[in-house]
Amino acid sequence: AQKITQTQPGMFVQEKEAVTLDCTYDTSDQSYGLFWYKQPSSGEMIFLIYQGSYDEQNATEGRYSLNFQKARKSANLVISASQLGDSAMYFCAMREGGMTTDSWGKLQFGAGTQVVVTP
């Protein structure tokens, strides 16, 4: 079963506007972490932001913030004041803290959302 779902294959956003990328997840673990990564066209995977399942505050890192709604199992990424350099593929991912060796350490990715920032 899909653990991470990103329903937006692609999005266009104008420069200086904010954009929200959706991510829902599925887990029965109490302990888990949610991550967002950026993959520009050059191919590298860049870690952006982390949200822990026990964190009561939404995570923020510069222009990135995570809208964490635990009851709805969603962890949406908000990019404020978009820049041309934000054009990239964005992946939501999860690590579970379960008790099976299958889940230990495994970072599970969604399919990604392609963001294009236009002038």
Partner 1 sequence: IAGITQAPTSQILAAGRRMTLRCTQDMRHNAMYWYRQDLGLGLRLIHYSNTAGTTGKGEVPDGYSVSRANTDDFPLTLASAVPSQTSVYFCASSERGGPSSYNSPLHFGNGTRLTVT
Residues forming contacts to partner 1 in the complex (CB under 8 A) are 29, 31-33, 35, 37, 43-47, 50, 52-53, 91, 95-99, 101, 104-107, 109-112
Pair 55, 65: CB distance under 8 Å? no
Nearer to partner 1 (CB atom), residue 39 or residue 74: 39
> Which of 90, 91, 89, 79 minimizes the C-alpha distance to 15?
79
Nearer to partner 1 (CB atom), residue 66 or residue 82: 66
Nearer to partner 1 (CB atom), residue 68 or residue 91: 91
> Which of 9, 11, 7, 40 minimizes the C-alpha distance to 117?
11
Nearer to partner 1 (CB atom), residue 82 or residue 90: 90
Q: Which two tokens stand for residue 85?
A: 């350099």
Least distance in angstroms from the C-beta of 15 to partner 1: 27
Least distance in angstroms from the C-beta of 87 to partner 1: 18
Least distance in angstroms from the C-beta of 37 to partner 1: 8
> Which of 69, 56, 87, 85 minimizes the C-alpha distance to 23?
69
Q: What does the alpha-carbon distance between residue 44 and residue 91 come to, in Å, rounded to a whole number?
A: 12
Least distance in angstroms from the C-beta of 30 to partner 1: 10
